[in-house]
Chains A and B, each alone.
Chain A
Amino acid sequence: MPVVQRRKKNFWRGPWPWLAPTLLILIVFRAYPLGDQFRLALTDMRVSGGEAQYIGLDNFYFIASDPGYQTALFFTIIFTAFSVGGSFILGLGLALLLNEPIRGRVVYRTAILTSWVISAIIVGYIWRLLLNESSAGVFNALFDSIGLQGVNWLSSPTMAVVSVIVADVWRSTAFTMIFMLGGLQTLPTEVLEAARTDGAKAWQRLLFVIVPLLKPLIATALIFSTIATFNVYELILSLTSGGPGNATSTVGFEMFRTAFGGDGGGGLGLIGRGAAMGVSMFMVTLVFAILYIRAGVFSRDYD
């Protein structure tokens, strides 16, 4: 009987040499910092230096009873709900609109996408200019020119909350739009035509055919934007610095302010406590991800 010669396994011909560079980057810049954050959260490490002491769960006990953190957590939840909801509805609407063969749609798509490409810090500054409460602010100048009174966009706590949400919706709508547009273009045309001959009006096709078919994509888009929004701090930093008072401080911003050094946002430089906040945010984010996946949204009905 002829024996099949087993080919000798050669490490250099296997997958590992090809995976190694990416793996290395992931370990150094993702896995290690994530793990180290858990370690730091159990210490009293400070920016100012000095020997860090192991202090057990003290940082977590502190956060749990800290009213500032609780306010921030509450605001973050409201902020995330409205921002993710708003940008999703707008993004899907724009995607549906720009999926139609209208004139110049490439121009519109590109224009909308720019808001996503600009860094969040810059978006914050742009909106700060727009919302400036003196006559230099674009909106108030507009209001002024038609004889309306200026609005306290950023100095009234309620208006500041609204302003921050609007700015973030403006920023993240493009992301949802691109996601949904990609999905719409993969939808089987004949199925939509079948719905038309079946008598489904535009809104019925959307509700009963398009949205169910896009479900996996919608879930993915929602997970991504929920996580991104929940963790936001740059936009807050440049737009309101968490104010007025603590009205627009998110947990991400609290973490940033707690962990890093003095200037600007009144930082505390408590790296250990900041890391503990980071860990708590990681847990919340994880719960979101599991919830979405659990909802069975990843099951596809296609072949």
Chain B
Amino acid sequence: MSELNIDGLGKRFGKVEVIPPLDLHVPNGSFTVLVGPSGCGKSTLLRMIAGLEDPDCGILELGGRDVTLAEPADRGIAMVFQSYALYPHMTVEKNIEFGLRLARVPASERKEKIAKAAEALQLEALLQRKPAALSGGQRQRVAIGRAIVRDPKLFLFDEPLSNLDAALRAQMRVELAELHKRLGTTMIYVTHDQVEAMTLADRIVVMNQGRIEQIGSPLELYEAPASLFVAEFIGAPKMNILGGKFAEELGAAKVGLRPEHLFVNGQSSEKWTAKVRLVERLGPETIVYARVEDVGDLIIRAESSLEIPGDSELSVSPDLSNVHCFDGHGSRIEKELS
């Protein structure tokens, strides 16, 4: 069992309360992603879980054991850092071996583990190289290799892909997802990239200003965001947030509409005339940025074959069955099913 229980864990730096006491449960074997904008406290939370930062209050239990103030090494965790944090003076092999040596694992077992990890991560040809002679993606693999040979109960990832280029990031995402599937170990992953969160996680924890806004599966967050913050943060392109008369008529302070829930030339009671400002032809779909008088700016996800008329005006209608309503505090209003 390697579930993680966090009870009232809080952290302040001087007078600034970075994380007000919060509770979080990470089930055994889950891939939990902490996501939020920079400065939301997600990295601090991860560092407290790792033991690199001492909390000011609260309890942290890993696999039923209180590890609140335990040394990082005594927690059974392994961490992958944003900068990879490889030992620059050691070869790839020594990097991976370091933790095992410290734990006094016998040489034969060390060799076996390194060979296994190197094979899984395609590092065999690189074992005698030093980190400076590796590409970013290769370094990241070494960092992961260093983590997996220790057979941790819990993997921690601190924005591990943000130093890679877009293509490599997409590839590493797949590799990480496969790794989780193969190992079945609990993983906690910090990122500010909601796409990474959506693609990797089975559970997403959305954080904002040190607080947890919502916890749920990617689709739960997408389909039923608990707050305006989550609504705007999850999904690309962003959800359209509209106020004014349209919201009032629906009994809300603000309403949210996903770009795919706006139909061009649709058949609906509500019909808007939208002035097109910008068109992005992405191939499989077309994203239209438009403005509607008295309603506001809209982002519309349309068919790739969409043609823009000469006067740049489109008839757009909202899918009223997919409107998200929020009250004045930004909390979700559950619609009664009619």
Interface residues, chain A, with chain B CB atoms under 8 Å away:
188, 190-191, 193-200, 204, 208-209, 212-213, 215, 301-303
Q: In this assembly, does B88 line the interface, its C-beta being within 8 Å of a C-beta of chain A?
A: yes
Q: Please indicate the chain A residues that have their CB under 8 angstroms from the CB of B83 in the complex.
A: 188, 190
> A197-B72, A301-B131 are contacts. A209–B102 as well, Cβ < 8 Å?
no
Assess the B86–A197 pair: CB atoms within 8 A.
no
Say which residue of B50, B103, B132 sits within 8 Å of A303 (CB atoms): B132
Assess the A196–B72 pair: CB atoms within 8 A.
yes
* Number of residues of chain B lying within 8 A (CB) of chain A: 26
A-B residue pair count with CB separations less than 8 angstroms? 67
Say which residue of A190, A199, A209 sits within 8 Å of B73 (CB atoms): A199
> A191-B85, A197-B78 are contacts. A208–B52 as well, Cβ < 8 Å?
no
Q: How far is the CA of A270 from the CA of B110 in the complex (A)?
A: 67
Q: How far is the CA of A204 from the CA of B87 in the complex (A)?
A: 13
Q: Please indicate the chain B residues that have their CB under 8 angstroms from the CB of A213 in the complex.
A: 88-89
Q: Which B residues, 49 to 83, have Cβ-Cβ distances below 8 Å to chain A?
A: 50-52, 71-73, 77-79, 81-83
Shortest Cβ distance from residue A158 to the other chain B in the assembled complex, whole angstroms? 41
Closest 9 CB pairs of A and B: A199-B73, A190-B85, A198-B99, A301-B88, A194-B85, A212-B89, A197-B72, A199-B102, A190-B81
Q: Which B residues, 69 to 126, have Cβ-Cβ distances below 8 Å to chain A?
A: 71-73, 77-79, 81-83, 85-89, 98-99, 102-103
Shortest Cβ distance from residue B330 to the other chain A in the assembled complex, whole angstroms? 36
Say which residue of B81, B89, B130 sits within 8 Å of A194 (CB atoms): B81
Interface residues, chain B, with chain A CB atoms under 8 Å away:
50-52, 71-73, 77-79, 81-83, 85-89, 98-99, 102-103, 130-132, 146, 150
Q: Please indicate the chain B residues that have their CB under 8 angstroms from the CB of A194 in the complex.
A: 79, 81, 85-87, 146
Shortest Cβ distance from residue B67 to the other chain A in the assembled complex, whole angstroms? 13
Assess the A196–B73 pair: CB atoms within 8 A.
yes
Shortest Cβ distance from residue B78 to the other chain A in the assembled complex, whole angstroms? 7
Q: How far is the CA of A199 from the CA of B72 in the complex (A)?
A: 7
Q: Please indicate the chain B residues that have their CB under 8 angstroms from the CB of A193 in the complex.
A: 50, 52, 72, 79, 81, 85
Assess the A191–B52 pair: CB atoms within 8 A.
no
> A208-B98, A303-B132 are contacts. A196–B71 as well, Cβ < 8 Å?
yes
8 other A-B residue contacts (CB within 8 Å) besides A197-B73, A212-B87: A193-B81, A194-B79, A194-B81, A197-B50, A197-B72, A197-B79, A208-B98, A212-B89
Shortest Cβ distance from residue B171 to the other chain A in the assembled complex, whole angstroms? 22
> A193-B52, A301-B131, A301-B132 are contacts. A200–B85 as well, Cβ < 8 Å?
no
Shortest Cβ distance from residue A189 to the other chain B in the assembled complex, whole angstroms? 9
Assess the A191–B98 pair: CB atoms within 8 A.
no
Assess the A190–B88 pair: CB atoms within 8 A.
no
Shortest Cβ distance from residue A223 to the other chain B in the assembled complex, whole angstroms? 20
Q: Please indicate the chain A residues that have their CB under 8 angstroms from the CB of B150 in the complex.
A: 198
8 pairs of residues in contact across A and B, judged by CB atoms under 8 Å: A188-B83, A190-B85, A194-B86, A195-B98, A198-B150, A200-B98, A213-B88, A213-B89
Q: Please indicate the chain B residues that have their CB under 8 angstroms from the CB of A197 in the complex.
A: 50-52, 72-73, 77-79
Please indicate which of the listed interface residues A196, A213, A302, A303 has the most CB atoms of chain B within 10 Å of its own CB.
A196
Assess the B132–A199 pair: CB atoms within 8 A.
no
